[in-house]
Amino acid sequence: MSTMTHPAQLPDQPISVPRRAMDFEDYVDIMRRHRSWILGPAFAGLVIGVVTAYLWPDSYLSGGLIRVVPPQVPTRLVQTNVSEEMTTRINTVYQDIVSRASLLDLIQTYKLYQDDLKRLPTDDVIEQMRKDIGLGSMQYLARGAGAVQQNVNAFSVTFSYSDRRLAQKVCQALINRFTEQSIRARASMSENTTSFLKDQYEVAKRDLDELDSRITAFRSRNAGELPEQEQMMFSRITAMEAQIQAANGQISRAQQDKLQLESQMRDLQDQARTLSQPVPESVAAPMVRNDRLIEVERDIERAEATLTTMRESYKDSHPDVQKLLGYIETKRRAKDQIVREAEASKADAAGKPRMVISAANQSRLREVTSAISRIQSTIQARDMEIGELERQINDNKAKLRSAQSRLEASPGANQEYVQLMRDRALVAARYDDLGRKMQDSSMATELVQRGQGEMLEMLEAPVIPEAPYAPKRPLIIGVGIVIGLGLGIALAAGREIKDTSLKNLKDVRAYTKLTVLGSVPLLENDFVLRRRRRFGWLVWAAALMLGTLLIAGSIAYYYMSRA
Distance CA 416, CA 207 (A): 17
Q: What is the pLDDT of residue 224?
A: 56
Same domain flag for 456 and 476 = no
User: 12 lies in a domain?
Assistant: yes
Q: Are 538 and 52 in contact (CB under 8 A)?
A: no
Of 136, 137, 116, 118, nearest to 127 by C-alpha is 116
HSE (side-chain half, CA atoms, 13 Å) at 223: 3
Q: Are 62 and 462 in contact (CB under 8 A)?
A: yes
- Which string of b and e fits 22-49 if b means at least 16 CB within 10 Å? eeeebeebbeeebeebbbbbbbbbbbbb
Could you tell me how far CA 552 lies from the centroid of its own chain? 71
Q: Are 321 and 315 in contact (CB under 8 A)?
A: yes
Q: What is the pLDDT of residue 524?
A: 65
Same domain flag for 270 and 331 = yes
Q: Are 312 and 336 in contact (CB under 8 A)?
A: no
Same domain flag for 420 and 540 = no
Q: Are 113 and 128 in contact (CB under 8 A)?
A: yes
Determine which helix (DSSP H) or strand (DSSP E) holds 529, and give its type and residue range: helix 526-562
**Strand segments (E) across 312-416:** 355-356
Same domain flag for 254 and 396 = yes
Of 347, 315, 307, 312, nearest to 331 by C-alpha is 307
Same domain flag for 454 and 537 = no
Same domain flag for 542 and 456 = no
- Which string of b and e fits 163-173 if b means at least 16 CB within 10 Å? bbebbbbbbbb
User: 212 lies in a domain?
Assistant: no
Residue 76 sits in a domain of what CATH number?
Answer: 3.30.70.1130
Of 274, 278, 276, 275, nearest to 354 by C-alpha is 278
Same domain flag for 159 and 296 = no
Amino acid at 437: K
DSSP state of 162: S
Q: Are 205 and 430 in contact (CB under 8 A)?
A: no
Tell me the residue range of the domain where 398 lies: 230-435
Longest CA pairwise span in the chain (Å) = 232
- In sequence order, what are the residues at sequence separation of 6 or more whose Cβ sits closer than 8 angstroms to the Cβ of residue 502? 3, 508, 511
Please list the pLDDT of the chain residue by residue as tens digits (563 residues).
444 444 444 444 555 566 667 777 777 888 888 888 888 898 999 999 999 988 888 889 999 999 888 888 887 778 777 777 778 888 888 999 999 999 999 999 999 999 889 999 999 999 999 999 999 888 877 665 544 456 778 899 999 998 889 999 999 999 999 999 888 888 888 888 899 989 999 999 999 899 888 888 877 776 655 555 556 667 777 888 888 888 888 888 888 888 877 877 777 777 777 766 665 554 444 444 456 777 777 778 877 877 777 777 777 777 777 877 887 888 787 777 777 776 666 655 544 455 555 566 667 777 778 878 888 878 888 888 888 888 888 888 888 787 777 666 555 556 777 787 888 889 899 999 988 988 888 888 888 888 777 888 888 899 999 888 888 888 999 999 999 999 988 988 888 888 777 676 677 777 777 777 666 666 667 777 788 888 888 988 898 999 999 999 998 988 888 76
User: 243 lies in a domain?
Assistant: yes
Count how many domains the chain has. Answer: 3
Distance CA 461, CA 157 (A): 10
Distance CA 422, CA 214 (A): 13
Same domain flag for 186 and 324 = no
Q: What is the pLDDT of residue 225?
A: 57
Same domain flag for 392 and 477 = no
Q: Are 440 and 79 in contact (CB under 8 A)?
A: yes
User: 241 lies in a domain?
Assistant: yes
User: 215 lies in a domain?
Assistant: no
**354 to each of 272, 288, 292, 348, 365, how far by Cα in Å?**
21, 15, 21, 14, 20
User: 441 lies in a domain?
Assistant: no
User: 177 lies in a domain?
Assistant: yes
| Rounded CA Rg of the chain | 70
Same domain flag for 255 and 400 = yes
The pTM is what?
Answer: 0.53
Same domain flag for 412 and 491 = no
Q: Are 17 and 511 in contact (CB under 8 A)?
A: yes
- Measured over the CA atoms of residue 523, residue 525, residue 527 and residue 533, the dihedral's sign is negative
β pairing state of 2-3 and 355-356: unpaired
Residues in the chain: 563
**Reduced to 3 states, what is the DSSP secondary structure of residue 126?**
helix
Same domain flag for 72 and 51 = no
